[in-house]
Chain A
């Protein structure tokens, strides 16, 4: 049996989505900006997709949702254009974000720091959640933007976006949320919650890779990142990617139309998996499951290094993910894991399992068995559970390596 449990990384494109996209490659291929009938032919499909997207996040007609190539582009756009509009050409000099953001936020912030912007990286609590009072205490009259992820890709933990939105509104500070792990997984209602910008991406909810969007409240000013033609009102240039826009609209509708029912189905499977693997001794799962996206588990298994665990799961045809430094190209420990803390262990022993609406009960049962076998094998090899004590003088007093 093959089991894909890495849906926070990317998802299978729903066959229904692929079907909706198909006509827009070789049949209806006109450039929507052309005047002739080839150009206008895809208009109804694009209009439908726009409706589907607006409905899915409950955007107002006065708001803009601009299609981008990915959420990385959306995140870069907000940060870089707020810098241009409010820092280079304004009197602000400060951006607030968190230590646990996606690299597309953190690296862009580092880049802005090199340009002289002051950036505050807020810590998270042991739940992996940003606390509202922390956000509040760092906002000054020089703060241009607060950027805080809606839900964490690593832990699935959901930040108090509604409260943070209120504070930002009160203080008159722009608020952006990277909602990549929220849209399509949990309800996102932009009439109920105040956010100026959110970024999201289709491939995280069974849409195609290569398309994302940026929501802009009240069509407010934000300099373009990509300059060019008059596409999407000149806000983001580049010929409209018609099949992907159609696919994104379809995927959003499929993911959100019965979201409560879908969530509870996924949650039941997730909880079954979580309960079963938590029976293993010396394990812990990060974060209250009620405040987590319903598909995510981040579990630390004492004595089992993350890449080794991933290896054994992979041998059993199970795709999962680890934040372990050993599994990364540069051997750098995952900053998110370090920020959550837990004695650094999480940085080496954390395994993330992320389900989707396509995950079956059989797959969960198979995973439970294989997971337990893998832990048993690797713990048998592990020095952490060895019985014979080292020769006097042969023990290790403390970590001799220093990770950053």
Chain B
């Protein structure tokens, strides 16, 4: 399958040429295929946010390329706005971007800028609102009456309504309570499953990434440290810990178990899978014991 989004030797330097120039990204190359769900993780200041703001052309790379469908988005005669409609980017704390009188109008801002007709806008707004779990009767209310978590859903719906082929979310669950966090993330997963949209999810939480993503991109010190399937990355739990990142609790337990000499697989990162492996190990041991008793 062809990559839908790709970066080649992407480097970004803030305030290039000034005395306070700081490198935020260094030689980052990776590719995401259509329909994948990729988690991006890394400690604060590792370049995650800078990386994702390049993907729809908000930031221009200092050097290197960003390719969308195989085409350089900064090539001459390329309409950068088209890229922005194709790659929907939800920033950190997106609730602060709301401005319209009603939720309906705010969600319609993106599609309106795309120039689609009113019937299509209506369809998109209702669809996006449904996906983010906003009740129909909310649409005519002011977004400023809502709670923080609900505002965030409106903001995410505003990006979903553009129906982008790639959806990029920069810590969509930051600052929410555990319930709100699970809700938003599972809605995104649901959207991914139903529409086949490619999703890139930036998160601090290894648990979330383990639960929702197919692949993980680990950023460290402005560079890519690892980029692989979730199980393969978590199999290197000790390396992740060395990078100062946490790993899911279960993975930690299994790492300890292995260090104690128990024969368990390396790639355990979700609780259901952990339960299964433990039961398997127990069954194997029981069989062994029965064998010796006989």
Report whether chain A binds chain B.
Answer: no
